Amino acid sequence: MQQAYYVTGGADFTLVVTAPDTETYDALMSRMVADNPNVRRFTTNVVLGIVKRGLAMPLPERDMS
């Protein structure tokens, strides 16, 4: 797991996980979530493409004249 967030809305937590393949991902989710009696349900979202990655914020040029 790379990142974990406590969030509002339809979910309580959002986890950012990377795995080399679906079998590894399924094993990880079974160990962390599916076999945990405190977790009622979970959903998986798969990234189809990257829109932005990183923490840098592009700022507009300031006119210093």
Total domains in the chain come to 1
> Is residue 29 within 8 Å of 44, Cβ to Cβ?
yes
pLDDT digits (tens, 9 = 90+) for 21-56: 999 999 998 888 878 888 888 899 988 999 988 888
The per-residue pLDDT for 7 is 95
**Strands of the chain, DSSP E:** 3-6, 13-16
Q: Cα(56)–Cα(40) distance, rounded to whole angstroms? A: 36
Phi, psi of 4 (to 5 degrees): -140, 135
The per-residue pLDDT for 51 is 92
Tell whether 55 is covered by a domain: no
pTM for this prediction: 0.65
Tell me the three state secondary structure of residue 19: coil
Q: Which two tokens stand for residue 40?
A: 């009622």
Domain containing residue 10: 1-47
The per-residue pLDDT for 40 is 87
Token pair 């080399």 in the structure block, residue = 20
Tell whether 58 is covered by a domain: no
pLDDT exceeds cutoff 90 at 63: no
